[in-house]
Amino acid sequence: MDLDSILIYIDMGGFSAYVWPAYGACAGIMIWLIVASYIRLLREKRMLAKFGSRRTSVEKVSDIDRAEAHDDA
Amino acid sequence: MIMRSPKTLHRFANPARFMRLSSRALPWCLVMSFAFLLAGLYLGLFVAPPDYQQGESARIMFVHVPAAWLALLIYGVMAVASATALVWRHPLADLIAKSCAPIGAAFTIVALVTGSLWGKPMWGTWWVWDARLTSVLILLFLYLGYMALWQALENRETASKAAAILAIIGVINLPIIKFSVDWWNTLHQPSSVVKLSGSTIHSSMLWPLLIMAAGFLMFFFVVLILKVQREIIASKVRANQYLSSTHSHESSPPADRDE
Amino acid sequence: MTRKNRRLIFLLAGFSALTIAAVLVLSAFEESLVFFYSPTDVIAQELRSDVPIRLGGLVEDGSVSRASDGLTTTFQVTDMREVISVTYTGLLPDLFREGQGVVVEGHLGTDGVFVANEVLAKHDETYMPPEVADALKKSGQWKGTVP
């Protein structure tokens, strides 16, 4: 592949100003989604670990488990 | 039948079980998502031919259409989860609905932005107020409104109920979006892929589109798992905070920390 | 009746009521949800107003002509029943061509010529490679309106 054909490809038939920003915006938003979600999960895991080191932790019976048991009527 | 509390669903609604199963599924979803997205990008950007009318700008479709499909699908998932949370008080359904909203909003934005970037060279405008574009913008506001309700209401129970009701009301918008192009004169073209008379998109462009859509769907599962796991752990943290605050006889109520 | 059943019935009843309301509202506003009028609509209703209206249809084959200034274009918009002449000064979108769908915004003049201040191209739902389009045209299986 020579330089000319690469340039022709990048030009996208004159639509480069629309095609590449569309792919870029899509990639940017998707990367942000997955990275932000992962960082928040890690942060929450660290919070829980702090409680885990003290022996007051409720690892098994969380509040949502109990909420489930309440509303079974 | 439907009226009975589905015990089998309750088993899956067990957060501990969800943590276990989803942790096992996560790497698979991640790998499949990457594989499909890479294949889709390669096919869409290098293999698929240009369109006979739109030329190379038609390639925008390969990100625009899957994003728009997901925006609708995620709203459907969010509404079903909301209804389940409202009627059967499933603790997990509530967390799934809450986790769906930011993902759906993100894909709605992708659909709007990429559509706009296609509209400028093809239609000659970034935006028009036709029935399709307007109803998709309303979808974005429904997502944002749902997220705002969760943020605005202090009490978790109240926030969950209010947000669930909004999500269910918004379902009306889904058929409007889908059929807007058939019911009214719109600038947006009718559906090419999902239609009774068969798809009007050539297979050399349809396959890249479907593979891309599969990658998007897997990507949604990955982010959903990450977000639901975070919500489950956050609820455990809240329970611990409550416990330690009652142990130490502090008067402060359990902090309802979110985001 | 358990609390769950009651909640479910309330939910279904509420949702049905909402659906009916939505259908009624949408059919009431039918007129304003329409993005453009066809030439038949425009001629039948004599849509001459101060507010700009949108006219949509196909650009008639062989009707496009450019004035000597190179910017003003005149063409005819048809819905296969009525035809309206349109004049427009400005840049045309890429998809604007004879036989393709178009939506123009502007006023219908007293002489029956539509003066457009904006021209939007309307794409149809067909996607195919250029070679396939050529092959279809050669074999006479072409169903589209494009020459």
Determine, yes or no, domain membership for C145.
no
State whether residue C121 is helix, strand or coil: strand
Do C4 and C59 fall into the same domain? no
- Both structure tokens of C49: 């107003």
Number of inter-chain CB pairs under 8 A, B vs C? 125
Which residues make beta-bridge pairs with C121?
Answer: C102
The Cα of B239 is separated from the nearest Cα of chain A by a number of Å equal to 6
Chain B contact set for C34 (CB, 8 A): 184-185
Using pLDDT thresholds of 50, 70 and 90, give the confidence band for residue B228.
very high
Do C9 and C62 fall into the same domain? no
Which residues touch B7 (CB under 8 Å, ≥6 apart)? none
Mean pLDDT for the stretch of residues B192-211: 82
Q: Kindly determine whether residue A51 and residue B240, on different chains, have CB atoms separated by under 8 Å.
A: yes
Percent of chain A with pLDDT over 90: 42
Do C57 and C94 fall into the same domain? yes
Determine, yes or no, domain membership for C65.
yes
* pLDDT beyond 60 at B147: yes
Determine, yes or no, domain membership for C144.
no
Cα B133 to Cα B139: distance, rounded to the nearest angstrom: 10
- Which of C127, C128, C137 to probe by mutation at the B interface, max B CB count within 10 Å? C127
Percent of chain B with pLDDT over 70: 88
B161-184 CB burial, b ≥16 within 10 A, e <16? bbbbbbbbbbbbbbebbeebbebb
Do C21 and C78 fall into the same domain? no
- Which of B33, B74, B230, B241 to probe by mutation at the A interface, max A CB count within 10 Å? B230
Print the domain residue range for C90.
35-139
The Cα of B241 is separated from the nearest Cα of chain A by a number of Å equal to 8
Determine, yes or no, domain membership for C112.
yes
* pLDDT beyond 90 at C91: no
| Interface TM-score (ipTM) > 0.90 | no
pLDDT in the model for residue B249? 52
Using pLDDT thresholds of 50, 70 and 90, give the confidence band for residue B247.
low
Determine, yes or no, domain membership for C146.
no
Distances B24 to B19, B20, B220, C2 between C-alpha atoms, Å:
9, 6, 16, 37
What is the value of pTM for the model shown? 0.85
Do C60 and C92 fall into the same domain? yes
Do C27 and C93 fall into the same domain? no
CB B91 within 8 A of CB A67: yes
CB C55 within 8 A of CB C35: no
Using pLDDT thresholds of 50, 70 and 90, give the confidence band for residue B4.
very low
C115 at the B interface (CB within 8 A)? no
The count of structural domains within chain C is 2
Domain ranges of chain B: 24-181+207-236
CB B22 within 8 A of CB B228: yes
Distances B142 to A40, B201, B227, C33, C107 between C-alpha atoms, Å:
24, 31, 20, 20, 36
Cα B54 to Cα B61: distance, rounded to the nearest angstrom: 11
Do C23 and C83 fall into the same domain? no
* pLDDT beyond 70 at B149: yes
State whether residue C101 is helix, strand or coil: strand
Cα C94 to Cα B130: distance, rounded to the nearest angstrom: 20
Do C57 and C116 fall into the same domain? yes
CB A65 within 8 A of CB B14: yes
Do C28 and C46 fall into the same domain? no
* pLDDT beyond 90 at A14: no
Do C84 and C94 fall into the same domain? yes
pLDDT in the model for residue A43? 94
Summarised one tens digit per residue, pLDDT across range B87-142 is: 988 889 999 999 999 999 999 999 999 999 999 988 888 998 888 999 999 999 99
CB C58 within 8 A of CB C122: no
pLDDT in the model for residue C39? 87
Do C67 and C26 fall into the same domain? no
Percent of chain C with pLDDT over 90: 5
Domain of residue C94, CATH code: 2.40.50.140
* pLDDT beyond 60 at C4: yes
Tell the burial category of C86 from Cβ atoms under 10 Å away from its Cβ (0-12, 13-18, 19+): buried
Identify the CATH number of the domain defined by range B24-181+207-236. Answer: 1.20.120
Do C132 and C67 fall into the same domain? yes
Mean pLDDT for the stretch of residues B187-197: 77
Cα C51 to Cα C107: distance, rounded to the nearest angstrom: 8
